[in-house]
Structure 1
Amino acid sequence: MTPDPATSGSAGATTTPPGGPAVPPTGRARFGWPVYAWGLWDWGSAAFNAVITTFVFSVYITSDDFGPNADTNLGWALAGAGLLVAVFAPITGQRADRSGRRGFWLGVNTMLVVAVSAALFLVQPSEDYLWLGLVLLASGNIFFEFASVNYNAMLNEISTPRTVGRVSGLGWGLGYIGGIVLLLVVYFGLINPEVGLFGITSENGMDVRVSMLVCAVWTLVFSLPVLITLRDDKAERTPRGPRVGIAASYRHLFAMVRDLWRTDRNTVRFLLASAVFRDGLAGVFTFGGVLAAGTFGFSAGGVIIFGVAANVVAGLATIGFGVLDDRLGPKRVIVFALVCMMIAGVAIFFLHAGGSTIFWIFGLMLAVFVGPAQSASRTFLARLIPEGHEGQVFGLYATTGRAVSFLAPAAWSISIAIGAAVTGVADGDDAQYWGILGILLVLLAGLLLLLPVRSQVREDSALAHHA
């Protein structure tokens, strides 16, 4: 993997304007059914990522019915899942690249997510079912991340340098909106009413358990378009040869990382920078609800309403910012988004005494820029990957993200402790608003690491070949 020049005088070569994306001299943007089919996977998979993991099942499994240590055990289960993803994501992507069966493995892992989602129906509200629920939830997270590696790797197959920003933004935005649409369906149709659809009640946890079946069907239905439309090209499949063991896969992976460091440190620097600022972005949503309730006095229902509004705003903004990604380049979008988020965060810190109105204004401003930064990060990396290495490099993208996932939570907690010491309050909850400074510090560190990284399209990338 040797780096190509950012500019070239040869015919048909991609060129990189200063600070912007490479623009092919010829080529027509593609934006048809395959793009929408690909984006619908994000809409469907949000059932697991948003509804199950974030809003519904994780809350259910940590309720009093599952014993006094359920929340702690949930943390350990998800930490174990994250470790396995970090270890195995690059080699699962590598094997999909090598076999030419990226679509097949997307389908396998997606169906495993569907199966796990349906199996969560079996988890009754009893301490006896705690570990069944935790193992299923952790397994689903692993399969979801493995599927996401192959899904992200498909981005270069369906886009060009002129459309990659809009394509990525469409998928990411549909994920935000799809998750919220399904959350509203299950919350108001099954969970919130005393008697929900089909006469379902909360007795024996049936409202949540049936919601898991709805999530399984949702994921299945909206995953089928991409699995049917973007089938693997039989001509690109490698002949079935001797099985490559885990050790050999890691040797190949380490050799690729060494080669990247020697020949293309720009990509390595981006992987590091994106890992840091992506953890800060995750922290915004992780602790946003906590901040709304603890500092700004939102009720439980108010937090849900704000969460719905934030996700819809994030989804629409992500789709819209995809156009700017294509026109200005992903680096400018990320830098602009991170700067605006830091301005909003500083306003929340200094104006926290202003009550819920302040959080509605600046909290939604934070939400506006989270999605565009995440989507542009994906397109930034897509432009840097040589053709045939997409799965492996996006696997590294997942690994680096997992490796620093402690940054935002640690910065949040440390900042609150510092705030309590500075202000002299006895209860750390009274200094909770200081936690936003920790998240902003992580975003700032990611921004500073990003600034020296060059934005370009490699001439040996699939994107360049599709121009």
Structure 2
Amino acid sequence: MRTSGVSELATHPLPARRSQIVAWAAWDWGSAAFNAVMTTFVFTVYLASESFGGEDRASTVLGAALGIAGLVIALLAPVTGQRSDAGGRRKLWLGVNTGVVAALTGACFFVYPRPELLVLGAALIAAGSVFSEFAGVNYNAMLEQIATPKTVGKVSGFGWAAGYLGGIVALLLVLVLFVQPAFDWFGASTEEALNIRLVAVFSMAWIVVFSLPVLFAVPEVPRRPAARLGILASYGLLWRRIRAIWATSPHTIYFLAASAVFRDGLAAVFTFGGVIAAGTFGFTLSQVIFFAIFGNVVAAAGAVLGGVLDDRVGPKRVIVGSLVGLLVASGAILVLGNGTYSVGGMQWTGAHTFWVFGLFLTLFVGPAQSSSRAYLARLAPDGEAGELFGLYATTGRAVSFLAPTLFSLSITLAIPLVAEGQAQRWGIAGIMAVLLAGLLVLLPVKPPARISAAVVPET
């Protein structure tokens, strides 16, 4: 039986060296090559092209593959975190999982533009997302090794900012080297989609190079004396710990539920932002890319600022303030739409509306994400952060259908009620509903400093 549930943040009060924090954040910078380049803006767009049978078929296959990946993550993430904690192998499994992500990313080079290779491409992306999430569980758990109770918010914000900025730099390099090459070289060839397939090789190298520093700079967690457990026994231990947390620290469970909901809303802001920019506000592809770049810069700045505030006023206040800001900004976009207004003698267009309030949205996304991670790090009992962040991943996956479903439902309901071409922006109402629900569930949750950790039986 555990006799102490004190957070590892409290048992490691000395600040980490700055080099360790930078090395830790470099992993976030590197992971952006998979998250931004491969799964968001470049490779999945390639898979959805006519070369693979068209958008409808590709979307169906990709959706099914990623759905299966989400189920695998939900089932396995907590146990993989638990076992890396107990075995003193948190850094080892971060390296292993990251290496698998890099290998799967590089293998996408062999996905030639042929319909019969669509399943291979979708499978590689889906498997990469599974191992990326497993790596992220161990990476997030490392936060307690390099931060103190006084700096955890700032360090978490720094990591999120590095991820945003890494995505920008990687995308810009992909743009000028492969997609719209600034000079002629063999990698610019479009024959057999060589330029796009080389993006996979570039992304693999990006992941490897920037994931190495954390593996050398941050020490491994000590091995905990505990019985060796099989997979089924690990699930039994997980269930006992969840019951113990519910009995002694139910607000930890409340926070996991609240964060799962509002994090789904945060993800939807980026997922559907470009769609709304193009469909409702008439942005061209280049304008969407420019907005994405500016949006990531603003989100990074917001994450840093939110991290500083987190350490001063606490993570809950930062998250609540960010969610309120998101609701106000998204409400303004919904109400103003693509209309033209006269403001102080100047014409205010739909483009102005989306640029101004869209950037406000990205400003608040960063702090909400960063403080959510810092919040959980403050709750994690000593030596159990990996398992708790595994639960964090699982709860997030469990409700990941909410925002997309309500986005689509809101548009469907609006179609017969508004003018033709005006229904899409009402999808924002669905995203707002998810953010509001997360906020309402979060409000009664006690801040971390007021929560006592659970005493959990080991066997």
- Normalised by the size of structure 1, how large is the TM-score? 0.90
Aligned match of 1:63: 49
Regions of 4+ moved over 6 Å: 1-5, 458-461
Are 1:207 and 2:210 counterparts?
Answer: no
Aligned match of 1:8: none
CA contact (8 A) 2:105 2:128 kept: yes
Q: Deviations over 1:37-72 (max 9, x none)?
A: 000000001110111000111101111101141111
CA contact (8 A) 2:187 2:195 kept: no
Say which of 120, 138, 142 aligns to 2:130.
142
Instruction: Show structure 2 runs of 5+ residues with no match.
Output: 340-348, 454-459
Residue 304 of structure 1 and its aligned partner are, at CA, apart by 1.1
3-state SS, counterpart of residue 296 of structure 1: coil
CA contact (8 A) 1:314 1:367 kept: yes
**Separation (CA, whole Å) in 2 of partners of 1:27 and 1:137:** 40
**Separation (CA, whole Å) in 2 of partners of 1:406 and 1:362:** 25
CA contact (8 A) 1:168 1:322 kept: yes
CA contact (8 A) 1:3 1:458 kept: no
3-state SS, counterpart of residue 422 of structure 1: coil
Instruction: Show structure 1 runs of 5+ residues with no match.
Output: 6-12, 15-22, 462-467
Say which of 92, 98, 112 aligns to 2:80.
92
1:386 is matched by which residue type in structure 2?
P
Seq. identity, %: 53
CA contact (8 A) 1:105 1:147 kept: yes
Say which of 314, 326, 350 aligns to 1:341.
326
Residue 262 of structure 1 and its aligned partner are, at CA, apart by 1.2
Are 1:439 and 2:427 counterparts?
Answer: no
User: 1:71-150 residue pairs with structure 2 within 5 A?
Assistant: 71-150=59-138
CA contact (8 A) 2:15 2:146 kept: no
Aligned match of 1:332: 317
**Separation (CA, whole Å) in 2 of partners of 1:114 and 1:240:** 32
User: 1:356-395 residue pairs with structure 2 within 5 A?
Assistant: 356-395=351-390
CA contact (8 A) 1:194 1:201 kept: no
**Separation (CA, whole Å) in 2 of partners of 1:408 and 1:173:** 24
Q: Deviations over 1:318-358 (max 9, x none)?
A: 12221111111101110111111111111101111231111
**Separation (CA, whole Å) in 2 of partners of 1:224 and 1:194:** 30
Change (3 A) 1:433 1:226: same
Change (3 A) 1:80 1:199: closer
User: 1:414-433 residue pairs with structure 2 within 5 A?
Assistant: 414-423=409-418, 425=419, 427=420, 429-433=421-425
Residue 457 of structure 1 and its aligned partner are, at CA, apart by 3.7
Are 1:298 and 2:286 counterparts?
Answer: no
Number of aligned residue pairs: 439
Change (3 A) 1:396 1:347: same
Residue 237 of structure 1 and its aligned partner are, at CA, apart by 2.2
Aligned match of 1:17: none
3-state SS, counterpart of residue 210 of structure 1: helix
1:35 is matched by which residue type in structure 2?
I
CA contact (8 A) 1:29 1:162 kept: no
CA contact (8 A) 1:176 1:311 kept: yes
**Separation (CA, whole Å) in 1 of partners of 2:452 and 2:437:** 31
CA contact (8 A) 1:123 1:133 kept: yes
- Normalised by the size of structure 2, how large is the TM-score? 0.91
Aligned match of 1:465: none
CA contact (8 A) 1:385 1:458 kept: no
1:332 is matched by which residue type in structure 2?
R
Q: Deviations over 1:141-179 (max 9, x none)?
A: 001000000000000010001100110000011001101
Aligned match of 2:40: 54
**Separation (CA, whole Å) in 1 of partners of 2:184 and 2:265:** 38
Aligned match of 1:407: 402
CA contact (8 A) 1:78 1:138 kept: yes
Residue 231 of structure 1 and its aligned partner are, at CA, apart by 3.2
3-state SS, counterpart of residue 189 of structure 2: coil
User: 1:215-234 residue pairs with structure 2 within 5 A?
Assistant: 215-233=203-221
1:67 is matched by which residue type in structure 2?
G
3-state SS, counterpart of residue 168 of structure 1: helix
Change (3 A) 1:373 1:459: closer
**Separation (CA, whole Å) in 2 of partners of 1:194 and 1:373:** 37
Aligned match of 1:321: 306
Aligned match of 1:162: 150
